[in-house]
Amino acid sequence: MWDGKTPEYLHLVNVQADPDTPYTAAWRITTRLNDLGFGKSNPVKGEQSWPTKNYTLWCEANGVDPDAVYSPEVHSAIFGVPLVCKCCGQELP
């Protein structure tokens, strides 16, 4: 379901802070979480907002506080990408 495109870390921080507004990045994290086994919905690109339920399921299974701000470590674990700087979103050496 996930299209293989990783949203920018800082964009997902903003999406989490605005959980009711649809974003393509919200669709991407929702589809990625579904692929990982955390959710069964059929999200619609352009209509999907922050996936609170799916994200909470993933967090609970991975020992992460679902109410904490989306972190570089979570981003790396969900999307399988290198860690990024929390401030600027650039890949860490």
Q: How many domains does the chain have?
A: 1
Provide the pLDDT confidence category of residue 32 given band limits of 50, 70 and 90: very high
86, part of any domain: no
Spatial separation of the C-alpha atoms in residues 75 and 68, rounded to whole Å: 13
Spatial separation of the C-alpha atoms in residues 31 and 45, rounded to whole Å: 10
What domain range is 34 assigned to?
A: 9-79
Provide the pLDDT confidence category of residue 93 given band limits of 50, 70 and 90: confident
Any residues with CB less than 8 A from the CB of 86 and at least 6 apart, and which?
71, 72
Share of the chain above pLDDT 90, in %: 90
DSSP 8-state secondary structure symbol assigned to residue 39:
-
3, part of any domain: no
88, part of any domain: no
84, part of any domain: no
74, part of any domain: yes
Spatial separation of the C-alpha atoms in residues 23 and 47, rounded to whole Å: 7
30, part of any domain: yes
